[in-house]
Amino acid sequence: MTDQPISRFKIPAHEMERIRTLLGREPNITEEAVFSALWSEHCSYKSSRVHLRNFSSKGPRVLMGPGENAGVVRVTEKTGIAFKMESHNHPSYIEPFQGAATGVGGILRDIFAMGARPVALTNSLVFGSLRQPRQLTLFRRVVAGISAYGNSIGVPTIGGEVWFDERYSKNILVNAFALGLVAEDGIMSAIPPKKNLVAVYVGNKTGRDGVSGAAMASRSFSGEDSDLRPQVQVADPFVGKKVMEATLLIIREKLSAAIQDMGAAGLTSSSVEMASKAGMGIEIDVARVPLRDFTMEPWEILLSESQERMLLLVEERHVDKILAIADEHQVAAGIIGNTIPEPVFRVRKGPEHYAEIPVAYLTDEAPLYERPTEERGSFRSSGSNAPSLAGSHSITELFHLLLEHPNGASTEWISRQFDFEVGTRTILPPGHDVAVVDLKEDDHAVAIAMAGTSHPLSKDPEKGAMLLVAKCVSDLAAIGAYPVGLTDCLNFGNPERPATMSDFVLAVNGIAKACKRLQIPVVSGNVSFYNETDGLSIPPTPILATCGVLADKRTLVPGRTDLSGLTLALVGSSRDLALGGSYLDWILALPESSEPVPDVDWNTLERLQPFMSALAFDRRLVATRSVGRGGLLRSLLQIVSGSDSLGVALSFPDLENPLQTFFSESPGRIVLAYFPEHEPIIERMALEFGIPWLRIGTTAHSSWTIRYKDRDHRTKVLSDQLSLLKRRFATSLSNQMEEFS
């Protein structure tokens, strides 16, 4: 064993040993490459699979669940929505423009591989502090990359979230979500029937870009990773669009038995995974793969992650038609192999054999770890009597503090770079908490709510994760939509560290519990581990996207108004308004503060959605907004953003804890704006539905005043300069970006 070579593909020694045992021999270089890809964390989910079984993907509306390119949920009698979220963190850090653009391209291919036409994109972006020039560049280029791909392929980017936090400066997060529409009888699968099928390649030619990308995304960065650039793929949205149209046509004509995107680990994973699901083997002849670079070795062809490629398994009789469609769309295509009865993955280059591996060794026999966990100590100790977070700051000062930071700012600088209207389905554009897409069928619309704040999870991974689910549901309820399915992208550090693994397990449990409580199926998802550089991991950061249905788009209530004199009320549970994990908590930089993460009032939350739908259906509301990042005051500032001169005049009864009232982000509270004459009915309905209701003031021209009584019954009046608040909100991100451009 002394001269046992170490893996050329950075396969850990103990896994190499297992490969030798399975094969009963030394793998050759091609085989080793194949193992390195399929046994990578990215492809095998070896550290997470055990825990992901906690998620329930069952539900009466679920048409396709995990194991497919994307989940599909029925939203009308004939139409389903296919949706999924994926990370592209590692590539985006190395080459932000291409990394982000290929992230968008990849998630779109997952959607149209299902036969669904993509109609919406959203994203979640987490970066380090913009005070660092490197972060400014990364952020600017990531936004440009998303814009370049989405705008060009003609799928609108209609929403998203952004967060800047020092702890992500070496591991930025770029998560992309896509949603498509598919007729129920037109759904494509990645699971082929068990019969002899021909493997047809459709799309961009294969080059050296992205060789071993999946392996890269499955380990931590170190200071010496400046040589990783060739492992980043290059996007071509123009070819992407042609491939999309060709694929959708092939599916519409029912010419293919199964389709998978050649994403992570490219040709290898798509061919092996589809063969495995069919219980078959597959033989690939790399000499027949359309190439950009004819000097490529077989292992490079197998591992290339060149973009805009699809692998189809089809019946012999349909091959000519498929090749003709590819030709008509001016994309490369070719027969590159076929499924075989012996369950092996065989790679040839013409007559020469390069690899022969039983499929099961690559899939079922891939390592599966239940990695050790160790809870981080501090977060469980929820101090009962939270010390005053605010110290000597006044409420007014704290509010300004929230607005001055880019995390509290309007995200218009980002969203205006995205074509959010192409396709003319965008009912609620960016700037609302929820994005709404017109189905153009029976007045139905689909709403997308995202949540991905890590701060509550840093304090308590399980409760924090539950908050994220509750936040999505509150956001949907605010516009009168009900949840039908959830997808997630779980961004964590190094799973080989017990503390990180513990965070992961707790967060998964939290999401699973909350989803079961609310009966929301988790239909697809993605895990991104190894967001760690030089031994420093990111905080636990699951990003969720919950899709909801709006039965009648005409009853949609927007998140802003320009009308003065509307009554403002707060509905929902105020049972636990603890500030732990809030934006205020974060900005005051007291991560060790003992302020606990709030508990969700699930019973009230469940009643909130039907209550809001009933109000919306009766057209009682002018605008609504769920209390989100920054709390009530920031949400109010957004609700009056329909006009530059519109503000609020608020009047509260005795406030036991003004800080909590104004800054808590406890989910399940919604601000309503309505004409005063609707109040008696709204109040009565609140009583009927068992929803706490409190009138808090009115929208008012050129005013920002808040009147309340403190616990000693002394009247306090806070006024502020409305134009200054609005300017802060509008510019604290854009100024930062434009100052240094």
Partner 1 sequence: MPSYRVGIIRFPGTNCDIDTWEALTLVPDLAPVWVSHRENNDPDLSALILPGGFSYGDYLRTGSIAAQSPVMNLVTDYARRGKPVLGICNGFQILSEAGLLPGVLLTNNSRTFLCQEEGLVVDRTDTPFTGLFAPGSRIALPIAHQEGRFFLDPDQLQEIERSGQVLVRYSKNPNGSVHDIAGVTNSAGNVAGLMPHPERRTRAGLSAPYGFPFFQSLALWLSKHLSDKENPTH
How far, in Å, are 493, 667, 734 from residue 488 at the CA level?
A: 16, 19, 29
Q: Is the dihedral of CA 489, 495, 498, 500 positive or negative?
A: negative
Neighbours of 25 (CB within 10 A): 10
User: Of 51, 88, 318, 432, which is the active-site residue?
Assistant: 88
The CB-of-246 to partner 1 minimum distance in angstroms stands at 11
Restricted to residues 126-145, the positions that interact with partner 1 (CB under 8 A) are: 144
From the list 293-301, 411-419, 478-486, 569-577, the region that binds partner 1 by CB under 8 A is: 411-419
Question: From the list 66, 334, 343, 429, which residue makes contact with partner 1 (rule: CB under 8 A)?
Answer: 429
Q: In whole angstroms, give the CA distance from residue 374 to residue 105.
A: 37
Restricted to residues 666-725, the positions that interact with partner 1 (CB under 8 A) are: none
Question: From the list 36, 69, 92, 151, which residue makes contact with partner 1 (rule: CB under 8 A)?
Answer: 151
Question: From the list 29, 234, 340, 422, which residue makes contact with partner 1 (rule: CB under 8 A)?
Answer: 422
Question: From the list 493, 558, 598, 647, which residue makes contact with partner 1 (rule: CB under 8 A)?
Answer: 558
Q: Is 23 in the site for partner 1 (CB under 8 A)?
A: no
Burial of 709 (0-12, 13-18, 19+ CB in 10 A): middle
Q: In whole angstroms, give the CA distance from residue 218 to residue 201.
A: 26
From the list 185-193, 422-430, 614-622, 660-668, the region that binds partner 1 by CB under 8 A is: 422-430
Q: Is 168 in the site for partner 1 (CB under 8 A)?
A: no
Classify the phi-psi angles of 60: left when phi > 0, otherwise alpha if psi is within -120 to 50, otherwise beta. alpha
Question: From the list 226, 295, 424, 715, which residue makes contact with partner 1 (rule: CB under 8 A)?
Answer: 424
Question: From the list 105, 423, 521, 542, which residue makes contact with partner 1 (rule: CB under 8 A)?
Answer: 423
Q: Is 21 in the site for partner 1 (CB under 8 A)?
A: no
CA nearest to 307, candidates 488, 71, 121, 149: 149
The CB-of-20 to partner 1 minimum distance in angstroms stands at 47
Closest CB to partner 1 among residues 187, 422: 422
Q: In whole angstroms, give the CA distance from residue 369 to residue 83.
A: 28
Question: From the list 283, 419, 433, 488, which residue makes contact with partner 1 (rule: CB under 8 A)?
Answer: 419
Q: Is 411 in the site for partner 1 (CB under 8 A)?
A: no
Longest CA pairwise span in the chain (Å) = 90
From the list 424-432, 496-504, 619-627, 677-685, the region that binds partner 1 by CB under 8 A is: 424-432
The CB-of-504 to partner 1 minimum distance in angstroms stands at 37
Closest CB to partner 1 among residues 179, 428: 428
The CB-of-621 to partner 1 minimum distance in angstroms stands at 14
3-state secondary structure of 631: coil
DSSP 577: -
Closest CB to partner 1 among residues 195, 416: 416
For 574-595, give one letter per residue: b (16+ CB within 10 A) or e.
Answer: beebbbbbbbbbbbbebeebbb
Q: In whole angstroms, give the CA distance from residue 560 to residue 570.
A: 15
How far, in Å, are 34, 198, 609, 704 from residue 294 at the CA level?
A: 20, 23, 58, 68
Question: From the list 45, 55, 139, 420, which residue makes contact with partner 1 (rule: CB under 8 A)?
Answer: 420
Q: Is 418 in the site for partner 1 (CB under 8 A)?
A: yes
User: Of 42, 51, 329, 432, which is the active-site residue?
Assistant: 42
Closest CB to partner 1 among residues 38, 174: 174
Tokens at residue 682, please?
Answer: 């709204």
- Assess whether 88 carries a catalytic annotation: yes
From the list 15-23, 149-157, 271-279, 699-707, the region that binds partner 1 by CB under 8 A is: 149-157
The CB-of-420 to partner 1 minimum distance in angstroms stands at 6
Restricted to residues 212-241, the positions that interact with partner 1 (CB under 8 A) are: 236-239, 241
Closest CB to partner 1 among residues 156, 580: 156
Q: Is 456 in the site for partner 1 (CB under 8 A)?
A: no
Closest CB to partner 1 among residues 237, 572: 237
Closest CB to partner 1 among residues 52, 234: 234
Q: Is 256 in the site for partner 1 (CB under 8 A)?
A: no
Closest CB to partner 1 among residues 524, 561: 561
Q: Is 330 in the site for partner 1 (CB under 8 A)?
A: yes
Q: Are 376 and 502 contacting, i.e. CB atoms less than 8 angstroms apart? A: yes
**422: Cβ contacts below 8 Å, ≥ 6 apart:** 151, 154, 155, 156
In the block, tokens 């989405």 appear at: 150
The CB-of-674 to partner 1 minimum distance in angstroms stands at 18
CA nearest to 82, candidates 57, 60, 111: 111
Question: From the list 42, 242, 405, 634, which residue makes contact with partner 1 (rule: CB under 8 A)?
Answer: 242
Q: Say how far residue 589 (Cα) sits from the centre of its chain.
A: 26
For 380-407, give one letter per residue: b (16+ CB within 10 A) or e.
Answer: eebeeebeebbeebebeebbbbbbebbb
DSSP 667: S
From the list 303-311, 412-420, 442-450, 710-718, the region that binds partner 1 by CB under 8 A is: 412-420
Question: From the list 198, 427, 550, 636, which residue makes contact with partner 1 (rule: CB under 8 A)?
Answer: 427
Closest CB to partner 1 among residues 415, 582: 415
Query: First CA to last CA across the chain, in angstroms?
Result: 57
Q: In whole angstroms, give the CA distance from residue 566 to residue 123.
A: 33
Q: Is 281 in the site for partner 1 (CB under 8 A)?
A: no
Binding residues for partner 1, total number by CB under 8 A: 28
Question: From the list 26, 137, 154, 710, which residue makes contact with partner 1 (rule: CB under 8 A)?
Answer: 154
Q: Is 249 in the site for partner 1 (CB under 8 A)?
A: no
Q: In whole angstroms, give the CA distance from residue 48 to residue 51.
A: 5
The CB-of-183 to partner 1 minimum distance in angstroms stands at 16
Q: In whole angstroms, give the CA distance from residue 270 to residue 310.
A: 9
In the block, tokens 């601000």 appear at: 671
In the sheet with 173-183, reading across from the earlier edge strand, the strands are 62-64, 71-74, 79-87, 173-183, 117-127, 157-164
Catalytic residue numbers read 42, 88
Q: Where does this chain bind partner 1 (CB under 8 A)?
A: 144, 147, 151-154, 236-239, 241-242, 330, 415-424, 427-429, 558, 741
